[in-house]
Amino acid sequence: MGGGSALAFEPLNLWPMAFVGIAVLMDRVQAAQSWRQAWMRGWVFGAGHFIVGFNWIATAFTYQSNMPPWLGAFAVVLLSLYLAVFPALAAALAWRLARQGAPRERPLAFMCMFAAAWMACEWLRASLFTGLAWNPLGVVWLAVPGVAQAARWIGTYGLSALLVLASGVLWISFRRRWLATTACALLLTLGVVVAGRRAPPPLAPRSAAAISVRIVQPNIGQDEKYDSTQAERHERIYANLSGAPSSQPRLLLWPESASLRFLEVEPQARADLAALLGPHDVLLTGGNSVTFAAAGGADVFHNSVFALDSAGAIQWRYDKAHLVPFGEYLPARSVLEHLGLSRLVPGDGDFIAGLGPRTLPLPGFSGAAGEASVGVQICYEIIFSGRVLDESHRPWFLFNPTNDAWFGSWGPPQHLAQTRLRAIEEGVTVIRAAPNGISAWISPTGRVLDSIAVHRAGVIDGYISPPPPATVFSRMGNWSCGLFGVLLLALGLAARNRTSYLVSA
């Protein structure tokens, strides 16, 4: 059932499987004879869930030559066995809390406590040991019209709790608790209706303050990206797709690591890019930055985004803060290197983390609301709910340059789905630029307004306006999820400790 529940995510999007899988898990955990048995059932479920959902990680090992490709399958299983600890912990906590001092079964108490425990454990999964927030259950709600808008108040982890509650309704219906089923179903439906009706209005027509934007997707695969013999061809593709310079200001957006040259120390590289720009254009491009060390020291590398103007000057640089273990750096390098392991991204040195979310100016672009600005989250950073924007200086939009070329066929659509939730939570437009897909323009409601599919070259043209007001989640962050969790826990305790007609129905 754990493996089947993972089919609810993209690209298969068999979303009813998530509700059935969690309902079966709840039934088995609630029937456990001890918290250890509950833990084991949650762990087995989680192992299947993550092995299926994270199968795309194995594909990444086929794009490097330092380690055998079969190690990818081993990595998926080993990672999944670790991640399964979090569903196991949720199961054990819910079992213990629901049984503590209760003279008999309390299905409604167990539902609420399991939802609260699952939400807390998803947050832990996203936080411990740098965290891995990929595929929270709440992503499944994107397939159900209107429900995902609740992320504006309770965030992604709150959506996950709602999915557990909805699965609980299915579970208690199997147990023929008809009055409880009806009451819970009505409450959840009411919440869905309120979330849908309180969603932000459609985008207003383009205002005079809007700025022109072009997203470029060159369709350069991971197997050819670092091929030096194709470097000139790749540069021509970027140049052709970027279009001829114009007298009208525009913002060009290129993917992660679009430039393989060190822009800060290679003047000719900056000049070549500046030649593609009109007099008022600005280019945001991914690339690596390097700080050369003194004799005997180690060079410092960052995965960065550069803002380059038509004079070839770098206006600012953003450095990726949430790096991918084994991708951009090798944890415990002194030990693992001796075992024959290495990082997946080419290069000898590890990347160093940047400072985190920042709001950065877009020189030359302004409107009635002041100078235009952008927040940047590079690739994997975008999956961490509540950690993507500098809320003290809210940007006009969020730019997510990414490279999903080595994520197989499952990784890119799953990445896009999580990006859509960031747009809903924060109430801002999110723009993705990928070398071979999926590039996308996402509205503050999470709707994909335009996209370029995988393995295709193309551009997306549009206009960015000042953002709508901040959402509740954007102002409170994951504290709003925490408050929702406390409410669920309080309801669970009340249902456990009080005998009522509804509880015993």
Q: Which residues are catalytic?
A: 256, 320, 379
62-101 residues labelled b (16+ CB within 10 A) or e (exposed): ebbeebeeebbeebbeebbeebbbbbbbbbbbbbebbbee
Grouping H, G, I as helix, E, B as strand and the rest as coil, residue 436 is coil
Residues 163/167/169/170 CA torsion (nearest 10 deg): 150
Spatial contact of 137 and 22, defined as CB atoms under 8 Å apart: yes
Spatial contact of 86 and 46, defined as CB atoms under 8 Å apart: yes
Spatial contact of 302 and 264, defined as CB atoms under 8 Å apart: no
Spatial contact of 254 and 283, defined as CB atoms under 8 Å apart: yes
- Closest by CA to 318, choosing from 260, 361, 363, 266, is 361
Between the alpha carbon of residue 50 and those of residues 3, 137, 366, the distances in Å are 7, 12, 45
For CA atoms 3, 482, 325, 317, give the dihedral sign.
positive
Would you tell me the crossing angle of helices 35-53 and 16-30 to the nearest 10 degrees? Answer: 160
Beta bridge partners of 215: 253, 460
Between the alpha carbon of residue 225 and those of residues 198, 228, 256, 289, 458, the distances in Å are 44, 8, 11, 18, 17
Report the distance separating Cα 73 and Cα 14, nearest Å: 24
- Closest by CA to 172, choosing from 187, 191, 194, is 187
Spatial contact of 485 and 120, defined as CB atoms under 8 Å apart: yes
